[in-house]
Amino acid sequence: MNILAIHTSHDGSITLVKDNKFFAHAQIDRFNNIVANAVPPLKLLIYIKSLNIQFDAVIFSFITHSCHWYWEEQLIKFNLLKPNCLLKYTDIDHHYYHTCCAKATVGNNKNMVVIDGHGSIVGKSGSVSPMGEKNFHEQESIFQDDQKIYHSRKNIGYNYELRTAKEFNLKYGKHTEAYKLLENYYGSKNFSIGRQKMAMLPIKASLILNPSSGAPGFIVDNVYCLPGVPSILKSMLGGLNNKIKGGKKILSKTISVQTVESEIAKPLEQVQQKFKNVDIGSYPFFRLGKIGVSMVIRSSDKKKIDDCCKEIVSFLKKKKINMIGKK
């Protein structure tokens, strides 16, 4: 059987099973370049089409996100479904999905604790998320042998702002300057309770202005807290030119190959274990009708990069994987 599994929530992803064997897995936003977005990218659909397969079954998880309807339309449009294709929709406990990801990463541990910012059940406490969602509450679950044996909304985790304040023994609360900046950005009518919570910072923190979305970052001693969205992060870095002390220059080399990411995952992990002080990233791409992966090797030590690259080239030759670029 050929099966396509699609996760349409945040960090959306797809998994392809070809002839009853795992074939490929990819995070969707790596193809559409939109962070945490699961809308089907054209590049990904063209790649699947190039495999010359039709699916016996398509499984959608987290169907509360409506883009699964768009996926169905596109799969039909690209003629990727067999006439009697099974379309299955699942909405299993959100925390259970997290345990499955953990098993795939660290092994089948019988006992697991999940701490999640939103959780599988929206809280009923009247709290509000940083995005303005009503009845938001952090959730915690404990699983034993795949069964949830405990669920709580006690907020045993805490955010970076609060954690930073605790580490430096600072008071945490409404930062007056941040509050004024946010109120000015949103306007008094649209400055909801959820948005006001973005002004909750270490009281004596210095702010990092945000020209993109209003919410400031902050500095405490040598700790710089910035958002993870690349475009917003980039817009805020200009204000730090004279504040962050430079360290050793980070060097990099890129090796591009014509294969799927799953084909190199295991040997690349072994190389990473050998060179623990070298950062290795793998980035799938689709260019001119061909799929491939770029491996980026980063370090401040040129010799370590060169040695790491030799190891990678060695396993590529053993697996007879075609290199299409090295720089």
What CATH number was assigned to the domain covering residues 3-90?
3.30.420.40
Q: Is domain 251-326 classified as CATH 3.30.70.600?
A: yes
The single residue listed with the structure tokens 């990473």 is 272
- Burial 191-207, CB ≥16 within 10 A → b, else e: beebbbbbbbbbeebee
- Both tokens of residue 98? 């997290």
Numbered ranges of CATH 3.30.420.40 in the chain: 3-90
Numbered ranges of CATH 3.40.980.10 in the chain: 160-240
Task: Confirm if 319 and 267 have CB atoms less than 8 A apart.
Answer: yes
Numbered ranges of CATH 3.30.70.600 in the chain: 251-326
Mean pLDDT of 12-29: 87
User: What is the predicted pLDDT for the residue at 36?
Assistant: 66
Helix (H, G, I), strand (E, B) or coil at 284: strand
Q: Is 170 exposed, middle or buried (0-12, 13-18, 19+ CB in 10 A)?
A: middle
**Between 233 and 136, where is the model more confident?**
233
* Residue 55: its H or E element: strand 55-61
User: What is the predicted pLDDT for the residue at 285?
Assistant: 77
- Burial 67-85, CB ≥16 within 10 A → b, else e: bbeebbebbeeeebbeeeb
Is the model's pLDDT at 311 over the cut of 90? yes
Q: Percent of the chain, pLDDT > 90?
A: 26
Task: Confirm if 165 and 204 have CB atoms less than 8 A apart.
Answer: no
Question: What average pLDDT does the chain have?
Answer: 80
Mean pLDDT of 82-91: 87
Is the model's pLDDT at 305 over the cut of 90? yes
For residue 322, the number of C-alpha atoms closer than 13 Å in the C-beta half-sphere is 6
The two beta strands, 323-326 and 147-152, are: unpaired
User: What is the predicted pLDDT for the residue at 125?
Assistant: 41
**Between 164 and 179, where is the model more confident?**
179
Is the model's pLDDT at 101 over the cut of 90? no
Return the closest-CA partner of residue 148 out of 88, 108, 92.
92
Mark residue 46 as left, alpha or beta (left: phi above 0; alpha: psi -120 to 50; beta: remaining): alpha
Query: What does the pLDDT look like over 34-86, one tens digit per residue?
Result: 666 777 888 888 888 988 999 999 998 865 555 777 888 889 989 999 999 99
Query: What does the pLDDT look like over 145-178, one tens digit per residue?
Result: 778 877 766 554 446 677 778 888 889 899 999 9
Give the CATH H-level superfamily of domain 160-240.
MoaB/Mog-like domain (3.40.980.10)
